[in-house]
Amino acid sequence: MDKSLKQQKTVLITGCSSGIGHAVAHGLQRHGYHVIASARSGADVERLREEGLSAVQIDLDRIESIHAGLALALELGEGRLYGLFNNGAYGQPGAVEDLSWEALEAQLRTNLLGWHELTRQVIPAMRRQGEGRIIHNSSVLGLVAMPFRGAYNCSKFALEGLTDTLRLELHGSGIHVSLIEPGPIRSRFRENAYRMYQRYIDAENSVHRARYRAMEARLRKEGDAMPFTLGPEAVLKRVIHALDSRRPRPRYPVTVPTYAFALLRRLLSTRALDALLRRASGGGSR
């Protein structure tokens, strides 16, 4: 694709304060796209602007923030928006029986409902221009479930189903829809997960308190928490393909665990896969 043409293409990215969103925003700008990075806090938005990015404030938990942020993004893109990369999310650790209504609602509001509202508001602009790319950052935990990650599993399984449906419905519109499915990626994911764990999980009064102590050690661990962890640039490569390719793929696996579990899900019985996932659940994943 000619670089001068790509420079006219605007891509909005959520969750750019750190990790995958931050790396993808800067990587796409180097690649020639007009990037509009978004973050929840005003301080992060200012920092992104100081780094040379166009930036808007979008809090995925607040519908008015989503609408206002998108309106500003469309203004910055002169009414056009070629791509949307939904990435802003967090993981809520905890056993399913320890998840309160508030904890699960908060997880789904950020990881699913906010993305859905932003996506549905973006689609009319893409329809008017006759093209667009919608890319959702899912997870290996949208393919298989691991214990003590029920809220996050739930949000990503739901995202996979909603995105598959959207892809079918937008066929022929010129708008392509893709899922990125990372395994372990270096980011502040565990740090943010630990904060939400402390907020919502009453570990001391849980039957799982012994397991929680081991989980807390993993969440606080410095460095990579499990083998095959990659940097966020691995996700950037897939996002570039989903934006540049004439026929973007519906799914982009990232990291060895995603490829492995996708294969094992097809080959193994549910009981055999359950046993494997229980043994593997000592690690962490994006």
One of 33, 82, 152, 212 is an active-site residue; which one? 152
Is 285 among the domain residues? no
CATH number (domain holding residue 115): 3.40.50.720
What are the pLDDT tens digits along the chain (286 aa)?
444 444 579 999 999 999 999 999 999 999 999 999 999 999 999 999 999 999 999 999 999 999 999 999 999 999 999 999 999 999 999 999 999 999 999 999 999 999 999 999 999 999 999 999 999 999 999 999 999 999 999 999 999 999 999 999 999 999 999 999 999 998 889 999 999 999 999 999 999 999 999 999 989 988 776 778 899 999 999 999 999 999 999 999 999 999 999 999 999 999 999 999 998 885 443 4
Give the 3-state secondary structure of the chain. Answer: CCHHHHCCCEEEECCCCCHHHHHHHHHHHHHCCEEEEEECCHHHHHHHHHCCCEEEECCCCCHHHHHHHHHHHHHHCCCCCCEEEECCCCCCCECHHHCCHHHHHHHHHHHHHHHHHHHHHHHHHHHHHCCEEEEEECCHHHCCCCCCEHHHHHHHHHHHHHHHHHHHHCCCCCEEEEEEEECCECCCHHHHHHHHHHHHCCHHHCCCHHHHHHHHHHHHCCCCCCCCCECCHHHHHHHHHHHHCCCCCCEEEECHHHHHHHHHHHHCCHHHHHHHHHHHCCCCCC
Total count of domains within the chain: 1
Is 69 among the domain residues? yes
Is 58 among the domain residues? yes
Is 135 among the domain residues? yes
User: Which domain does 152 fall in, by range?
Assistant: 3-280
Is 96 among the domain residues? yes
Is 62 among the domain residues? yes
Q: Residue 7 has what pLDDT?
A: 53
Q: Residue 164 has what pLDDT?
A: 98
Is 286 among the domain residues? no
pTM (2 d.p.): 0.93
Is 115 among the domain residues? yes
Give yes or no: 90 in active site: no
